[in-house]
């Protein structure tokens, strides 16, 4: 299953809220893993990217109003 990044949020909290919204509307989504967002000494601060499977990408973009 191929996953696509469909959106990059301003911060991890917004990304998490959007993942939850997609999930409530029947679109399986997850936060990406970003090594670039690791904090000092490699402590992760969270991800801003939202990933969905290729088959759900169009519907997810419609929900999030992404072009």
**pLDDT at residue 35, rounded to an integer:** 57
What is the β-pairing status of strands 29-31 and 3-8?
A: unpaired
Q: At what angle do helices 57-64 and 12-24 cross, to 10 degrees?
A: 110
**pLDDT at residue 46, rounded to an integer:** 72
**pLDDT tens digits, one per residue of 11-50:** 999 999 999 999 999 999 999 876 554 555 444 567 899 9
pLDDT at 1 over 50: yes
**pLDDT at residue 52, rounded to an integer:** 97
Q: Are 50 and 44 in contact (CB under 8 A)?
A: no
Residues 6+ apart with CB under 8 A from 13: 46
Q: Looking at the domain 3-64, which fold is it?
A: Alpha-Beta Plaits (3.30.70)
Element (H, E) at 67: none
pLDDT at 67 over 90: no
Per the document, the length of the chain is 67
């Amino acid at each position: 299953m191929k996953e696509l990044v469909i959106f990059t949020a301003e911060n991890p909290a917004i990304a998490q809220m959007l993942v939850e919204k997609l999930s409530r509307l029947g679109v399986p989504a997850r936060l990406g893993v970003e090594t670039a967002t690791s904090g000092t000494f490699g402590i992760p601060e969270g991800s801003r990217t939202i990933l969905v499977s290729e088959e759900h990408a169009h519907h997810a973009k419609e929900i999030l109003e992404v072009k």
